[in-house]
Structure 1
Amino acid sequence: MKLTKRQLRLIIRESMLEESLWKNVHNKRKEGRPPAKPGDDDYPDEKAWKAAQESEDNEDDKVLEELLSFIQEQDKDRMKCNSPRYIKDGETGHGKKQKVVKACDPDSDKEKIIRFGDAKMRNNSDKKKNKKNFRSRHNCEDKNMKKDWDTAGYWACKDW
């Protein structure tokens, strides 16, 4: 399911404006009325209280999941297949990983975004000694590595 920015904004607005137990509590405080006490008509029973807490948590989680999937789909659409690039400032993974690639399986239509490389380390692939150590440490000469197009190790070896 693809969401447009407009649809996403509507979903967020609706979840924020939706009447809930907490909304009633906050409204009473604004009006200066004391909150309901046990025995009052508008005091919620335990089932309603638990349901309100669970539904609020679930709605927040759903909105966040939709937002994250929307952002990832947009990233996938803009990137070229199998061409690594540095992660830009403000992008997901910046400061944690160094590069990102949209890995596309040559045999099928599968696509996957992979982030790899330590952000705090320089890439010294131009030095023979460093290159040799890296490639031996990560088993880059392994013939099975070619099948693992969807792993960070594959792309790190390809980069070196």
Structure 2
Amino acid sequence: MPDYIAEADEKFYFESYGSEEELTEDNYVVPQEEDYVSAEEVYYEESEVEELDLSVAKPGLWENIRKKKEREGKNYKPAKRGDKDRPDPESWKKAQNKYKYKDPKTGEIYEYERRGIYKKDGRTLIPAQAAEYQGRKVKLGKPFRTPKGPKKFSVYVKNPKGNVVKVNFGDPNMKIKKNIPGRRKNFRARHNCDNPGPRHKARYWSCRAW
């Protein structure tokens, strides 16, 4: 039998604050630099921001994302953990030491032990651009806009277990009016923002926006 009270509580929490979800290949978003918000819009301390390298923290996941991106272009789907071709961390480290070159016609990537001038089918290969590996590093604790939802903003943070979670917060249909003292005071009092709870929860970041 459905737990209607729990469902109602969950709906209320999502509408009032947002949601939290452990980072996976399905919900991973790569923010552009212009997507990150200023501390004036959503308060955060620069000292709290931490850069996480997914190739180190999640080497198998990142390696499969990279390979599928090369192979499928804009239609690629990130790999799931458990795939038979998922590399171990040692294999990833070895791959990082190789030099990557791209076929300018096919887009295929080739790896070599040394820098040099290489050709394929008469075409000179060019060094692979860093943009092809965009998204390898993410910023923890720095909120960014999410025009495609599920909420107005998201932020990557670590939970007490050390896992990275994606916190979604902010009503996309409502303009935050914290510059109006009365509105700001009412919101913060209504949501008990003097005690916003843990940093890996949506209520914490909703209060930071006000």
Report which of the two has the higher share of strand.
2
* TM-score of the superposed pair, with normalisation by structure 1: 0.46
Report which of the two has the higher share of helix.
1
* TM-score of the superposed pair, with normalisation by structure 2: 0.37
Q: Which has the higher contact order (CA 8 A, sep 6+)?
A: 2
Q: Which of structures 1 and 2 has the bigger CA Rg?
A: 1
